[in-house]
Amino acid sequence: MARGGKGPSLTVDVAVISVRDGTLGTLLVRRAAGLAALPGGAVGLDEPLEDAAARALLTEAGLRDVFLEQLYTFGAPGRDPRARVVTVAYYALVDGRRFDAIDRAATPVLTARIEVPWEGEAGGPVRALDEAGARLPLALDHADILGTAVKRIRGKLDYTPIGFQLLPERFTLRQLRQVHETVLGRPLNKDSFRRRMLASGQLERTDERQQGVDHRPAALYRFGRRSAV
Amino acid sequence: MARGGKGPSLTVDVAVISVRDGTLGTLLVRRAAGLAALPGGAVGLDEPLEDAAARALLTEAGLRDVFLEQLYTFGAPGRDPRARVVTVAYYALVDGRRFDAIDRAATPVLTARIEVPWEGEAGGPVRALDEAGARLPLALDHADILGTAVKRIRGKLDYTPIGFQLLPERFTLRQLRQVHETVLGRPLNKDSFRRRMLASGQLERTDERQQGVDHRPAALYRFGRRSAV
DNA sequence: TGAATAGTGTCTATAAGACAATATCCC
DNA sequence: GGGATATTGTCTTATAGACACTATTCA
Find how far residue A170's CA is from the centre of its chain: 19
Residue A168 has φ and ψ, to the nearest 5°, of: -65, 170
Position B21: which residue type? D
Does residue A227 register a pLDDT over 50? no
Q: Which residues pair with B110 in a beta bridge?
A: B28
Is residue B45 within 8 angstroms of chain A, CB to CB?
yes
Q: Tell me what pLDDT residue A200 has.
A: 87
Which value, to the nearest 10 degrees, does the dihedral of the CA atoms of residues A194, A197, A203, A207 take?
Answer: 10
Integer Cα distance of B58 and B191 in angstroms: 40
> By the 8 A CB rule, do B111 and B97 touch?
no
Integer Cα distance of B227 and B224 in angstroms: 8
Does residue A116 register a pLDDT over 60? yes
Position B77: which residue type? P
Does residue A168 register a pLDDT over 50? yes
Give me the B residues in range 158-217 that sit within 7 A (CB) of strand D.
172-174, 191, 194, 209, 213-217
pLDDT band, very low/low/confident/very high, at A160 (cuts 50, 70, 90): confident
pLDDT band, very low/low/confident/very high, at B2 (cuts 50, 70, 90): very low
Position A189: which residue type? N
Integer Cα distance of A214 and A172 in angstroms: 15
Element (H, E) at B109: strand B109-115
pLDDT band, very low/low/confident/very high, at B32 (cuts 50, 70, 90): confident
Distances (CA, A) of A28 to A83, A111, A126, A143, B131: 22, 6, 14, 11, 53
Integer Cα distance of A79 and A143 in angstroms: 12
Residues whose CB is below 7 A of strand C: A 172-174, 191, 194, 209, 213-219; B 189, 191-193, 195-196, 199, 209, 213-217
Q: Tell me what pLDDT residue B3 has.
A: 44
Integer Cα distance of B162 and B170 in angstroms: 14
- Rounded mean pLDDT of B1-25? 85
Q: Tell me what pLDDT residue B5 has.
A: 58
| Average pLDDT score over chain A | 91
Q: Provide the whole-model pTM.
A: 0.93
Predicted confidence (pLDDT) per residue in B125-182, tens digit = 999 999 999 999 999 999 999 999 999 999 998 888 788 999 999 999 999 999 999 9
Predicted confidence (pLDDT) per residue in A19-63, tens digit = 998 999 999 999 888 899 999 999 999 999 999 999 999 999 999
SS3 B20: strand
Separate counts of helices (H) and strands (E) for chain B: 4, 10
Closest nt by CA–C1' to B217: C25
C-alpha neighbours within 13 Å on the C-beta side of residue B201: 5
Is residue A78 within 8 angstroms of chain B, CB to CB?
no
> By the 8 A CB rule, do B52 and B41 touch?
yes
Integer Cα distance of B187 and B195 in angstroms: 16
Predicted confidence (pLDDT) per residue in B174-220, tens digit = 999 999 999 999 999 999 999 999 998 899 999 999 988 889 999 99
Q: Judge if the beta carbon of A101 is closer than 7 A to nucleic acid strand D.
A: no
Percent above pLDDT 70 for chain A: 96
Q: Tell me what pLDDT residue B110 has.
A: 93
Neighbours of A200 (CB within 10 A): 11
> By the 8 A CB rule, do B92 and B40 touch?
no
79-138 of A, contacting B, C-beta below 8 A: 84, 86, 88
More confident residue, B145 or B2: B145
Is residue A77 within 8 angstroms of chain B, CB to CB?
yes
Predicted confidence (pLDDT) per residue in A176-211, tens digit = 999 999 999 999 999 999 999 998 888 999 999 998
- Burial classification of residue A190, based on how many CB atoms lie within 10 Å of its CB (0-12 exposed, 13-18 middle, 19 or more buried): exposed
Nearest of A157, A154, A155, A161 to residue A198 by alpha carbon: A161
Neighbours of B74 (CB within 10 A): 22
Q: Contact B43/A86, CB-based, under 8 Å? A: yes
Integer Cα distance of A125 and A114 in angstroms: 10
Q: Searching chain A, which residue's CA lies closest to the CA of residue B51?
A: A76
- Rounded mean pLDDT of A133-146? 97
